[in-house]
Amino acid sequence: MKTEKTFTFSHGTVDGIYQKSDSENSPLIVITNGHNGFYNYGMFPYIQEQFGINGISSFSYNFSHGGVKGNSDYFADLSLYEKNCMRLETLDLYETVKQIVNKRNEFNAYKGLYLMCHSMGSVPTLFAAKQLIAEGFKIDGIILISCVKSIALWPPSVMEEWEKTGVLLKKNNRTKQELPQGKEFLEEIKQADLKWNLKSDLKEVNSDFLLLHGEKDEAVPLEHSVTMNNWNIEFGHNSQCKIIPNATHTYNTKHPFEKSTPELEELITEMITWIKKDKSPS
């Protein structure tokens, strides 16, 4: 059963879809898309359906400043999009998890809270998890799919142009829109080794980890997940990294979603198995 839910925070509004499992007291997984993602993006509704069929509830949401509203897949609010940054995306997840915990009975009185993310969604996921855990919230596990190890992904020439103009326009090949990346996001990238250093914060994220990455990822090199997994092991976290053979960044699927693929099915099986195996969630 799917239910639309909206949370309004002081910094913005988060729209989401809650997929309830038929199983009572099922695990609940909160799904964070990548920087240009949204809850109806490509493979994610199908992933939610498969979670539900296999006794796992889920909540997938749009970033408050992602530019996509509700069930749309078009970036309708570019003024909001220009303001989007890691600070706001982290706030979105942090506040959303707090709302879910405070309204536990509205979420099937879930047993076990997990976070899952794709691509650049690893940044708000890990920074929000660090803050939540520091405040006493228990995160039973974190799944990083095709994750980035750093937000310093733009070459110096692009950064210089961005610095000059204050806005970086990046064409979205699907919608043909020129999406504006704003000044605050630029400043965060410049602090990728300091304030927004994923390795530094990962050390304080006391949880179990599953990292999954496509062998033929064309957007984020496999090395990112391998490095993140090595950092986890270095810090003493329970962590494993699985490589999906022949898989691309979206596991050989497209948006709009047409059909599943063997690579996507393997991804889903790995996640479900990991959540259910030897877990003693609170």
Rg (the chain; Cα; Å): 18
Whether 85 is in a domain gets the answer: yes
Whether 58 is in a domain gets the answer: yes
Whether 18 is in a domain gets the answer: yes
- CA nearest to 205, candidates 270, 119, 140: 140
Q: Range of 266's domain?
A: 2-151+197-276
Whether 156 is in a domain gets the answer: no
Q: Which helix (H) or strand (E) holds 159?
A: helix 156-165
Whether 265 is in a domain gets the answer: yes
What residues contact residue 63 under an 8 Å CB cut-off, 6+ apart?
14, 33, 38, 84, 88, 89, 92
Whether 144 is in a domain gets the answer: yes
Whether 281 is in a domain gets the answer: no
Give me the residue label for tokens 């898989």.
247
Q: How many domains are there within the chain?
A: 1
Q: DSSP class of residue 248?
A: -
* pLDDT tens track for 151-208: 999 999 999 999 999 999 999 988 999 999 999 999 999 999 999 999 999 999 999 9
* pLDDT tens track for 205-261: 999 999 999 999 999 999 999 999 999 999 999 999 999 999 999 999 999 999 999
Whether 65 is in a domain gets the answer: yes
Q: Determine the length of the chain.
A: 282
CATH number where 102 lies: 3.40.50.1820
Alpha carbon distance 22, 58 (integer Å)? 12
